[in-house]
Each structure stands twice: as structure tokens, then as C-alpha cells.
Amino acid sequence: KQEVTQIPAALSVPEGENLVLNCSFTDSAIYNLQWFRQDPGKGLTSLLLIQSSQREQTSGRLNASLDKSSGRSTLYIAASQPGDSATYLCAATNAGKSTFGDGTTLTVKP
């Protein structure tokens, strides 16, 4: 059974800092790895999707990497802003089944 772990559970940084969120998964047989953002009381918004054959994806200040052999993915956020404050979740998907991590709650202080 797939298990997904995210470290740290919470992170507080000053505005402008670069940061890395970590995601690890136990079963490397995945179709893709996705990173999501969730604001309080809201649904999830997909940030980046990395297919199993890919190594990384970039969107603006976000960069996500995938290393299937080690069962790890990272989300790099450059020049963080207060508007980046949210919970970030990763999910490993295989043939319809998605397993989510518990998320990292990020606070960016002005």
C-alpha cells in the first residue's frame, strides 16, 4: 500500500526566502506526482504535475522535482511571498488511485 510522507509539517519563513518542501513515497510504481495548494476552507488547486518519466516541472517561482528511484519529490519555492502562505500537499497517483501526504503548512511573514 502506497504511503506518502511530507516533511516538515509546518514551516515559517520571512518574506523573500527560498524554501524547499519534501515529499516521500514508498511505492515507486506511480503514474505521476502532483503538488497542490490548499487555502483554509477551500478546495485543492493543482500546482505542478510530474509524470513518472519526467524529472522536474517548473511554473513561475515553483519548481518540482521527482526521483522515483529514491521515492522522493521536492517543491522549491523561490523568493517567497506572504501570498504563498497555505498548506501544500503532494499526491502519488497510479491507475486512478491517489495517495496524499498530510501536507506542509507554510507561513510567509512580511
Q: Which residues bind other proteins (CB under 8 A)?
A: 1, 31-32, 34, 36, 41-46, 49, 51-53, 89, 91, 93, 96-103
CB of 98 to other proteins, least distance (A): 6
User: Smaller CB distance to other proteins: residue 9 or 79?
Assistant: 9
User: Smaller CB distance to other proteins: residue 35 or 80?
Assistant: 35
Q: Residue 24: CB partners within 8 Å, gap ≥ 6? A: 4, 5, 6, 7, 71, 72, 73
CB of 99 to other proteins, least distance (A): 7
Question: Could you give the angle at the alpha carbon of 75 between the alpha carbons of 103 and 39, nearest 5°?
Answer: 45
The single-letter code of the amino acid at 73 is S
d(CA 56, CA 38) in angstroms, rounded, equals 21
CB of 17 to other proteins, least distance (A): 26
